[in-house]
């Protein structure tokens, strides 16, 4: 019954996404194929407001594109200034970075992505949309500053789940690490209007160890929490720390929005 429910749920989401996509994507047939196929072929999806986004033909790449551009998942309920400064941890193939420039009119986006496979598409998407002056790319994992072992060669849709956590039998490679504080210093981020974090379990260490003076620069913060070992206690600690730092928290599914009171 659980398997049947899962299949029915996935089928429902595919249909919902495909219907909604007709209002925004130009080459809708290619987008629908990307939702259904799993061959990894790279296709360019064009939007009605002029973006071209290269994605792999697999459900995760297509669905994440819809979550960001159709559901506006990372900015729901937020009030952002004109031309905000944004840090995107877990940039994937650049979906949200492109969204931030096109839909939020961000003047600067610092985007971090550790996977070499995602990094290729991230660079391509930034260059082909001519956003190099506003999107700054960092091919590192945000950590406590130490390098980290990650499954960056995960096949197919697994690139959406690149992580340093999970089963020990995953093949891992050493990836350079950088702290959030170091990014703030390097890119001169005196204020961060939105800090978006989706890094498959790394969110707990990032938010637990970010210096208070760095968090004071962040007006809005949105992160997805993941069910790694002992995540309940880790999430409780992170949420309490954010409240102590003056944030009000709102939970939507696995996304938590934190806004300064």
Number of domains in the chain: 2
Domain boundary among 71, 94, 117: 71
Q: Which domain holds residue 55?
A: 1-71
State how far the Cα of 46 lies from the Cα of 54, in Å rounded to an integer. 9
What's the farthest any 2 CA atoms get from each other in the chain?
53
Query: Quick one: 108 and 201 in the same domain?
Result: yes
**Cα 107 to chain centroid, rounded:** 18
Cα separation, 199 vs 89, in Å, equals 7
Task: Name the 3-class secondary structure at 224.
Answer: strand
Q: Do 124 and 188 belong to one domain?
A: yes
Quick one: 254 and 188 in the same domain? yes
The reply to whether 237 and 141 lie within a common domain is yes
pLDDT at residue 261, rounded to an integer: 80
Q: Are residues 174 and 148 in the same domain?
A: yes
| Predicted pLDDT at 75 | 97
Tell me the CATH number at 196: 3.40.50.150
Residues 144 and 177 in one domain: yes
* Mean pLDDT (10-residue bins), the chain, 261 residues: 52 78 94 92 97 96 95 94 97 98 98 98 98 98 94 93 83 95 97 97 95 97 96 97 97 96 80
Domain boundary among 71, 94, 123: 71
> Who's near 4: CB < 8 A, 6+ residues apart?
none
What is residue 27's predicted lDDT score, i.e. its pLDDT? 96
Judgement on whether residues 8 and 125 belong to the same structural domain of the protein: no
Claim to verify: residue 197 and residue 255 sit in the same structural domain? yes
Task: Look at residue 5 in the predicted model and tell me its pLDDT.
Answer: 43
Same domain for 30 and 142: no
- Where do the H-state alpha helices sit in 70-193? 95-104, 116-128, 180-186
* DSSP conformation letters of 207-236: HHHS-HHHHTTBSEEEEE----TTHHHHHH
Q: Are residues 190 and 127 in the same domain?
A: yes
Beta strands 135-138; 108-112: pairing state: parallel
pLDDT, position 185: 96
Domain boundary among 71, 96, 125: 71
Q: Quick one: 139 and 244 in the same domain?
A: yes
CA 31 to chain centroid, in Å, comes to 20
Residues 61 and 97 in one domain: no
Q: How far apart are CA 135 and CA 34, in angstroms?
A: 26
How confident is the model at residue 15, as a pLDDT? 81
Q: Which two tokens stand for residue 216?
A: 């004071």
């Amino acid at each position: 019954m659980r398997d049947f429910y899962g299949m029915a749920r996935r089928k429902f989401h595919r249909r919902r996404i495909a219907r909604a996509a007709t209002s925004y994507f130009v080459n809708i047939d290619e987008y629908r194929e990307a939702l259904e196929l799993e061959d990894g072929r790279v296709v360019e999806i064009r939007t009605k407001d002029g973006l071209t986004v290269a994605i792999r033909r697999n459900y995760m790449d297509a669905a994440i594109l819809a979550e960001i551009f159709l559901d506006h998942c990372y900015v729901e309920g937020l009030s952002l200034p004109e031309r905000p400064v944004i840090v995107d941890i877990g940039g994937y193939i650049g979906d949200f970075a492109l969204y931030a420039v096109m839909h939020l009119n961000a003047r600067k986006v610092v985007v971090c992505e550790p996977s070499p496979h995602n990094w290729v598409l991230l660079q391509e998407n930034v260059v082909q949309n001519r956003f190099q002056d506003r999107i700054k790319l960092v091919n590192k994992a945000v950590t406590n500053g130490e390098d980290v072992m990650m499954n960056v060669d995960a096949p197919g849709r697994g690139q959406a789940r690149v992580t340093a956590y999970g089963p020990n039998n995953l093949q891992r490679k050493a990836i350079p690490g950088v702290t959030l504080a170091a990014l703030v210093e390097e890119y001169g981020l005196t204020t961060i209007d939105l800090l978006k974090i989706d890094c498959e379990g790394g969110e707990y260490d990032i938010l637990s160890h970010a210096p208070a003076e760095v968090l004071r620069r962040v007006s809005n913060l949105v992160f997805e929490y993941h069910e790694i070992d002992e995540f309940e206690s880790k999430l409780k600690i992170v949420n309490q720390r954010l409240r102590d730092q003056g944030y009000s928290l709102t939970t939507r599914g696995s996304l938590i929005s934190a806004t300064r009171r």
